[in-house]
Structure 1
Amino acid sequence: MDVTRVKQILSSSADINVTYNGISVWIDQLNEDGKTATVHLRGPLEERSEVEISELKEV
């Protein structure tokens, strides 16, 4: 995924399915470096991780 699409997803009110390593995640924010984003797993766990945006996939 590229930085433009991450920004579009963050500003959208739609429920857009994004995965990281095959696991469904929510994108919380694009980090200042423009190469990573903070995400958390969909579901009850709120654990957040910083991941490379290039590894995010839109399903």
Structure 2
Amino acid sequence: MDVRRALEIYEDKSHTIEVKLEGQPVWIENVDEVNGMATVQVGSRPTNTETVNVERLQEG
């Protein structure tokens, strides 16, 4: 995924768009456009977050 698409998904509050990190469902919590990074929540625990390169994220 590219930064632009990650930001679109993050900003779209009207739809739930499935995003995965290495096959695991994640929620995008924040997107750092300058560095191409995203903070994601892994699974259903709000405290389980990771900051990863957006290229590691897959839609659908």
- Shorter-chain TM-score range: 0.7 to 0.9
Aligned to 2:4, what secondary structure does the other structure show? Answer: helix
Contact 2:28–2:41, Cα closer than 8 Å, also in 1: yes
Question: Which sections of structure 1, spanning at least 5 residues, go unmatched?
Answer: none
Segments of structure 2 that go 5 or more residues without pairing to the other structure are: none
TM-score scaled by structure 1?
0.87
1:40 aligns with 2:41: yes
Percent identical: 31
RMSD between superposed Cα atoms in Å: 1.2
Is 1:55 the equivalent of 2:56? yes
Say which SS state the counterpart of residue 17 (structure 2) adopts. Answer: coil
Aligned to 1:17: 18
Q: How many residues align?
A: 58
